[in-house]
Structure 1
């Protein structure tokens, strides 16, 4: 944990109650919560807001309700003060860290909440101490604090309920606060830390800059984007993506659903009028302060340009995108936007004049996480820019003879067309003997069509023993049961399929949940077993997946970047089979290559001192020396 976990910026409501009735209520749209200690080392929570005096509560006898932490909401009941603090619009990651800090500090504090000293004696010793009142921020949580808290978890409840009450205790409301729940790892505070290049992107986002970050396949763009989403206030942050599946990955909605202007066809005047006439659409635009767009590379330039103009019109603000902070992510060297044939206009976002006006900072992620083989990474980097040497061609042609199947698990065929993959799956399933099991999803009311578009989980799944399947969720990362893992159905138990994976582990696939947001911002849910047929998959639907047993035919490639996307799904050269590699199937769009040349020049220009000259080694040494001298002066 970091020292920053003792501070939280959020919206706050305070309610004081007497005999079940609210006697006083205070609302702060923007407030700061700070964990502090007084001169006697007692811990307090301080609540401050502009134009209001600070309010402090002793952290004793508190109840924490944290069921909605992922939405940036929680409540803390201060029993001694008879007041409940309602937290909302807090960045979820920060909220989890803040509550964990409270737990660790309260649990590890020997004196806090202790009943060994009578209250009068404690008060008397305070009065006789003659200490001046002083408050300071609590120290960051250390490893020793965590170990100390772990030892005391069984003893950490501040009141002891009767045995029956213990059994019935609501797990969402626990004393002290919620030791085991708050201590256990949370998806919001993922144990995988950000690397330095990812951290720079996050820092720029939190600094309010309009940014675009890119990177080759497998550099952790989606992982970073999820961290960014949870680090921003949820009430004013809109996470979107150009495709439904990508939107589901970031827990958001499609860009088209949020924008409220359909596919962008029609005049700009018509689109602005349309957005203004829809109250919910206009309200969303006005409320939004941070707009996140994943797979920006698949948004066509004309739509992006109209979107920017609509934002300015609806928000009545002449700044780019009406003053909204833009956080854009994507790789223009992967799949391009789908544009109607014969349609004139700017195909890529970067071809729009408003692109340079909107983007303040650019970043490129370079560290590849999906593949560990340096030879394969080098091949993919060349394929990405459309360059195929004889050595690369020979190496990929050689994979056609590889045997990558094992233990009855066949390679997934990646197809350039969706219809081809569906036909292969249906045919292979019908060839299997045995009883067919049908798994129908449980969907939110009247939302099946939308959930089909935005989730990778099918509404109807047909399975038999022997069916080739793919896992659609990270179930157990340590056991290798991750999104994209390949397996085969070996039997059915209690109505659920049991799958043996390539790593020989067996898993009973029980119902999982997928959440998406509709155009109104409401959460929709699909419950389904996390599997899909995997004899074949389309290249478009494979985007974002890592496959551990994959083959492909590239003869029907029809788009720039399509071959690169297909090849980069493979985990390694040893798990890949290319049936008909031909260098003519590999190319990159010249406009995109030119954009990335300008993009990298811009990155170099960002690495300059104010005078505009690159930092020389001599200048670097001078700056470091100056920093050291300044630190020494402060210490004196």
Structure 2
């Protein structure tokens, strides 16, 4: 017995597929027209239909699709290519509509899905916008849109492709900005494994600045004094550390200049042992950045070796780049002077110009320069003395600390790496610095002066609302509420283009987070510090509009360069006791840096 004939799934097996009778004509136009030029076209509501059979409903759907100038996917599947071509040719077109432009496809279909991204730039230099690269900023704060230069985009693309990269550059070339982009794009790439990207740095302060941990903490080696084999056995006994090594796919190391060469070799070997793979770091993708002309490795008595001298360096790092476009300094003369200082070879003209910066600078807005000291004791002494001179009530703000870490010694050490102090003492008239990015003009490094303290739950004055104070009512208007007894400082912040911006400052949070999301330590405090003085070590990575440096107190290679390169221009820089003999660079770093590639 022959099998029954196959039936059409569409339900149109008994209907001839001649769609020409359903095509719209001039007399069947669904849009009512008028000779009145002001008439508004409209489509009449179709009369209510009784329930149709399957075939009738299908015909109705086809008719409606054709009247709407649409070709549905169902029609396309049910019709042959010839029928579909015929329909498309008969579709009405409007002579008033411009011809559609051919769709431009992106340059690469491998780009990740765009995600909202923000960051801050202090430069007035021109940047080439990133094409189809809007990324997520995981750095703290609410910040302004970002774009990358051509050389930054090139490095970012290589990292996205999975290559092991080292990049460097003089102060102000956007190393930190590019690093935040790299962190964001790699986390997006490995979004299915939240702890696949390990963000680390050589010091606690640097780690906090990028929302990561120290390379010692990540690797689980403690001080790392033992051999790689002994340290590997130690890490195996630490479940969290061994799990990090197993799950990490990308390891990012910031401020590599302070990582000693021997330590780099040890960590690379430990990765090979734990992951049971012969490649350095056990095959993990490694992204390294920093400036070897800045602060060098800290060693006790023995001669230090740089990370680029390590045996595993060339086996690990396949491509190295030197960023050349400067964004922090706006004055070409100043850029040239800093580049000479970086290599430790100053021309007579630059020496004379630096010596001329010993003059006093008077700022009409009353905000003085931040003085940079090599020792923390000098910083505390200077800030305390200035606070003592100010008359008025003192207000203290105590931080709220949290986190899973229970070892008190290690906990305190990690908390001390935060810029935010445990106890912050302020007065009206105190000079302060913002230590967290808030938006495009309120950024880490913004200088200001406290003008008053207010209760945020009480009525806000008109100027507080106009200059960024948070209204107490949801409709954006100031409203009277019962006082909470909490008083927040109101600060007049200096703006990059000049002028002041008044803002009510409220607490923000900092944290040290493991790749799996566990928060080891956290601190919630006002994002302010006293800013008459600051240590050179903590200033590394900062951008300061007004800087004062006494080079007679500088004692370490790289300190003078780090301090002076914080300034954005010569007009805002005061240099005391300038001595060319104190401006020097390590010859190994000079020779090695000349071998680095640049992005053409």
Aligned equivalents of 1:298, 1:355: Cα separation in 2: 15
**Distance (whole Å) between structure 1 residues aligned to residue 272 and residue 384 of structure 2:** 48
Give the match for residue 427 of structure 1: 385
- State the distance in 2 between where 1:140 and 1:279 align: 51
Q: In 2 relative to 1, CA 506–128 (structure 1 residues): closer, same or farther, beyond 3 Å?
A: closer
Give the counterpart of 1:413 among 371, 374, 378.
371
RMSD of aligned residue pairs (Cα, Å): 2.8
- 1:434–1:131 CA distance, 2 compared to 1 (3 A): farther
- 2:445 paired residue among 463, 467, 484: 484
Q: Deviations over 1:190-218 (max 9, x none)?
A: 63221110011111111111110000111
Note if 1:343 corresponds to 2:302. yes
Q: Distance in 1 between matches of 2:566 and 2:516?
A: 34
Report the counterpart of residue 529 of structure 1 in structure 2. Answer: 526
1:323 matched to 2:315? The reply is: no
SS at match of 1:371: coil
1:588 shift after superposition: 0.4
Tell me which of 282, 304, 312 is aligned to 1:354.
312
Residues 1:511 and 2:507 are matched in the alignment? yes
- Contact residue 405 and residue 549 of structure 1 kept, 8 A: no
User: How big is the shift at 1:140?
Assistant: 7.5
* TM-score normalised per structure 2: 0.69
**1:422-463 deviations in whole A, cap 9, x for unaligned?**
121122212222111111112224666255234211121100
Say yes or no: does 1:596 pair with 2:556. no
Contact 1:308/1:321, CA 8 A, preserved across alignment? yes
Deviations 1:376-429 (A, max 9, x none): 111111111111222112111111114143322121110011111112112221
User: Contact 2:135/2:181 (CA < 8 Å) preserved in 1?
Assistant: no
2:146 paired residue number: 192
Partner of 2:90: none
Q: Secondary structure at the match of 1:372?
A: coil
Greater RCO (CA < 8 Å, at least 6 residues apart): 2
Matching residue of 2:489: 497
* Higher helix proportion: 1
Q: Which moved more, 1:121-130 or 1:432-441?
A: 121-130
Matched, 1:564 2:522: no
Q: Which secondary structure state, in structure 1, belongs to the residue aligned with residue 224 of structure 2?
A: coil
Q: Distance in 1 between matches of 2:218 and 2:590?
A: 30
Normalising by structure 1, we get a TM-score of 0.65
Q: C-alpha separation between the residues in 2 aligned to 1:330 and 1:257?
A: 19
Provide closer, same or farther for how the CA distance between residues 187 and 323 of structure 1 changes in structure 2, counting only shifts above 3 A. closer
Q: Deviations along 1:86-105, whole A, 9 cap, x unmatched?
A: xxxxxxxxxxxxxxxxxxxx
For 1:139 and 1:517, locate their aligned partners in 2 and report how far apart those are by CA, in whole Å: 44
The reply to whether residue 308 of structure 1 matches residue 268 of structure 2 is: yes
Query: 2: distance between equivalents of 1:439 and 1:208?
Result: 45
CA contact (8 A) 2:136 2:184 kept: no
Aligned-partner Cα distance in 1 for 2:369–2:235: 47
Contiguous gaps of at least 5 residues in structure 1? 1-115, 143-183, 608-636
Instruction: Count how many residue pairs are aligned between Structure 1 and Structure 2.
Output: 440
Counterpart of 1:46 in structure 2 is: none
CA gap of 1:240–1:186, structure 2 versus 1, over 3 A, is closer
Query: What does 1:238-249 align with in structure 2 at a 5 Å threshold?
Result: 238-249=198-209
Unaligned runs of 5+ in 2: 1-47, 52-56, 66-71, 85-101, 107-133, 406-410, 456-486
Deviation at 1:501, TM superposition (A): 2.5
Which of the pair has more CA radius of gyration? 2
Partner of 1:55: none
Equivalences for 1:246-257 in 2 at 5 Å?
246-257=206-217
